[in-house]
Amino acid sequence: MSTTISVPVKDLRVAAGLSRRRKRVNRAIQALCTIATIAGLLFLASILSTLLWRGLGGLSLTVFTETTKPPGSGGGLLNPIIGSLIQTALGTAIGTPLGLLAGTYLAEYGKGSALSNAVRFISDVLLAAPSILIGLFVYEIAVDPFGGFSGLAGSIALAVIVIPIVVRTTEDMLRLVPGSMREAAAALGAPQWKVIVLICYRAARGGILTGILLAIARVAGETAPLLFTSLGNLNWSLRLDQPMASLPITIYQYAGSAYEDWVQLAWVGSLLITVGVLAINLLARTVVQGRR
């Protein structure tokens, strides 16, 4: 015995009309997304092509072997390159352990506590804060009280930028580690610190390392914090208690000058930073894919 279900013709027409409307809206949204993607790619291609065209024209061996010199005297970018490497490395070395420990506390020890909520809030504020404000803060605590700009103050400013990025990445990656792994290690009698170091860190090391690399890429091109801390130096200097050169500040100074050779070096410096940041991002992506 079979039964048939009759559907009113009006309901069928309404359903068909809604289906056609959804398809039209879907096609419209898809077209807008495609147009936006193409526009973004065109702008990016325009920026990169201009950077390559202007930067490759002045790229030579002297850029890496000679220091900055007065206008019309040639020169290179050796001292800004070395200064950027020193300050970025020192800032990362200061900020990474602090961010790693803070992120570990948020994920493993302070779940739901008032202190963890306060630390997370401060970290999020620092993550969204303009870098120039961080530069002003470090100026008040590490430059003005000591009577002068220094490479160490610049490194501290970069470290303050690194910390919230590492905190957020560490916390998120540790939260992704299955709780069963912690329980299995605890069942074997391992204390919590060993569970974190030997189990959780190993399971999350790919994501944590990616966050550190992204933090390095972020601080490598920062200009504003260094203007208030390390200031820049046209002479060769490796002393951390003295003003220290850096690529972003040199680009800032040279790009606004009236001398063609300085402007050309500014384009070369911009190209070097872009290539360096791109290489770091590719390395981070490679690390993530390798872990997967």
Q: For each of the domains in the chain, give its residue range(s) and CATH number, in order of start.
A: 85-245 (1.10.3720.10)
- pLDDT above 70 for 3: no
Answer yes or no: are the C-beta atoms of 217 and 283 closer than 8 Å.
Answer: no
Q: Which residue carries 């916390």 as its tokens?
A: 171
Tell me the backbone φ, ψ of residue 64, rounded to 5 degrees. -100, -5
* CA distance to 18, 136, 229, 230, 245, per residue, from 239 (Å): 71, 22, 14, 11, 11
Give the tens place of pLDDT for each residue, 270-283: 999 999 998 988 88
CB burial of residue 85 (10 Å; 0-12, 13-18, 19+):
middle
pLDDT band at residue 109 using 50, 70 and 90 as cut-offs: very high
Answer yes or no: are the C-beta atoms of 203 and 182 closer than 8 Å.
Answer: no
Most confident region among 7-16, 34-43, 208-217 by mean pLDDT = 34-43
The tokens describing 145, both together, are 């009280």
- pLDDT above 80 for 17: no
Supply the mean pLDDT for the chain. 91
Give the tens place of pLDDT for each residue, 140-177: 999 999 989 999 999 999 999 999 999 999 999 999 99
* CA distance to 5, 28, 36, 218, per residue, from 277 (Å): 64, 36, 25, 8
* CA distance to 15, 51, 84, 246, 265, per residue, from 256 (Å): 63, 16, 20, 16, 12
pLDDT > 70 fraction of the chain, expressed in percent and rounded: 95
